[in-house]
Structure formats: structure tokens, C-alpha cells
Copies of this chain bind each other. A is one copy, B any other.
């Protein structure tokens, strides 16, 4: 199938949503946990979490405040914090259900059957069933006028990762932790390790690096 700009704009709206959502490739599958000042917890499935940098440790995510209920965004703007919890193969159906439009008083945690968990003194709830989890503090909100979305940037304040998935050099084998990927609006994929490759330099052959801990 080959489409030019006219062909793209002529597509049926729902067909185009499915198609365009698939084009970025594998998407991260994360549950974002928030709470408002009154203690109402919220959980939403976000497929746009993206790495911004390691020094300082920053993640970004695209929020669509004008097409979905904005509880997550409201809570983040109110409390300045949120959690990011990897979706794994055991909970992806519950995670998908969390994308339904529940009212603000209905906690998605209870509605879909996931447990909120509070770690140390971090204000927002983590997902107990997730194995790779971070607590983030809001650093910047960047409006994208092109389609009235907002790009949120947070700094990573806490990290929890299973020891068994962390290699000696800091690499995390996310497939060991069961992490899944999203394709498009509603497709879920497991991750099958292919290879880790050495740092690329001109005129130097790549070597394979271990993907699992030497003691596993």
C-alpha cells in the first residue's frame, strides 16, 4: 500500500487512526498512576512514554487532554508527580481495560483488578503487579498546538527493577521482566531477545553482548 498526502487525508477517520497509530513502530506499554489531593487514585494506559535523557534522568509522554478524560493530566498538574509502571504479559488485558473512560470517582485500579501500592514517601500510587516501576516529578509541560496535545517531561525520582533483570553494566533485559510492547491502538506483543550489540564505531565489527546476567 502506498499513500501520498492526499491519499492519507482521504482515509476514513477510524481506519486512519488505526493505521497512523501503527506507524511509529513498537510502542512502550506503561500504566501511569496518579492521585488527586483528595486521594482519588487514577490509572491510565500510556503508549507514548519516551526516553529523553539519562543525565538528568528524564522521560517524556504525550497527553491528549482534549479527546479523553483529563484525570491523569489534572492529577499531575495538581500534585506534580506520577508513576510509570511497565505493563507485562500477565496484566496487559487489565492494563488495556484501564483505557476505558471511567468517571473520576471510579478508581481504575479497583475497576480493572490491579493493586495500588505506595513506595517509601512517593505521593503517587505504583502498580503492585508491575515489575519495573518509576516515580516521576513534573519538570515541564510543553503544549503542541498542532493537535492540542501536551508533551509532559518528568525527572525520574525512584526506580524499582528486579535484580534478576539488571546486568552488570546497568542494561535491563525488559523481556526478563515480562514487559510487553503496544502496536497501534490495541495490539500487544511480547519481546523476544534477538541480540545486544557492542557500541558501534566506523570500521569496527560489532560484537554480541550477553543479554542475561552471568549468574542466571
Which residues of A are at the interface with B, using a C-beta cutoff of 8 A? 1-5, 7-8, 11-30, 47-60, 62, 64, 84, 86-87, 89, 92-93, 96-102, 106, 111, 119-120, 132, 134, 139-140, 142, 144, 146-147, 149, 151, 153, 155-163, 166-167, 169-175, 179-202, 204, 206, 209, 211
CA distance A159 to B10 in the complex (A): 13
Whether B194 and A192, one on each chain, are in contact in the complex, defined by CB atoms closer than 8 angstroms, is no
Q: Give A48's nearest chain B residue, CB to CB.
A: B50
**Chain B residues whose C-beta falls within 8 Å of the C-beta of A111 in the assembled complex:** 202
Question: Quick one: which of B5, B22, B134 contacts A174, CB cutoff 8 A?
Answer: B22
**Chain B residues whose C-beta falls within 8 Å of the C-beta of A29 in the assembled complex:** 25-26
**Chain B residues whose C-beta falls within 8 Å of the C-beta of A197 in the assembled complex:** 93, 96, 186, 188
Whether B102 and A14, one on each chain, are in contact in the complex, defined by CB atoms closer than 8 angstroms, is no
CA distance A48 to B53 in the complex (A): 11
Q: Give A182's nearest chain B residue, CB to CB.
A: B26
Whether B58 and A146, one on each chain, are in contact in the complex, defined by CB atoms closer than 8 angstroms, is yes
Whether A23 and B52, one on each chain, are in contact in the complex, defined by CB atoms closer than 8 angstroms, is no
Whether A26 and B146, one on each chain, are in contact in the complex, defined by CB atoms closer than 8 angstroms, is no
CA distance A62 to B93 in the complex (A): 30
Question: What is the predominant secondary structure among interface residues of chain A facing chain B?
Answer: mixed
CA distance A22 to B14 in the complex (A): 32
Whether B55 and A16, one on each chain, are in contact in the complex, defined by CB atoms closer than 8 angstroms, is yes
Whether B192 and A192, one on each chain, are in contact in the complex, defined by CB atoms closer than 8 angstroms, is yes
Whether A4 and B158, one on each chain, are in contact in the complex, defined by CB atoms closer than 8 angstroms, is yes
Whether A13 and B55, one on each chain, are in contact in the complex, defined by CB atoms closer than 8 angstroms, is yes
**Chain B residues whose C-beta falls within 8 Å of the C-beta of A100 in the assembled complex:** 200-202, 204
CA distance A156 to B92 in the complex (A): 29
A146/B153 contact (C-beta < 8 A), A25-B30, A100-B202, A187-B211 known: yes
CA distance A84 to B24 in the complex (A): 8
CB distance from A39 to the nearest CB of B (A): 21
